[in-house]
Structure 1
Amino acid sequence: MSYDLVVWEGERPADDKIVGRVFDDLYEHCIDSEAEEPPTERIAAYVAALLERWCDLTEDEEDTSPWSTGLLIDEAFPIRWSMAEEASAYAAAVAESMGVICFDVQQNRLRP
Structure 2
Amino acid sequence: MDQLVNIVGTNIKELRKHKKMTQEDLAEKCGLQTSYLAGVERGDRNITLQTLEKITNGLEVTAKELFELKTPIKALSLETEQLIYLFTEQLREKPEVEIRLIIELANKIFETYSK
Range into which the TM-score falls when normalised by the shorter chain = 0.3 to 0.5
Larger strand proportion, structure 1 or 2? 1
Q: RCO higher in 1 or 2 (8 Å CA, sep ≥ 6)?
A: 1
Q: TM (normalized to structure 2)?
A: 0.33
Larger helix proportion, structure 1 or 2? 2
Structure showing greater radius of gyration is 2
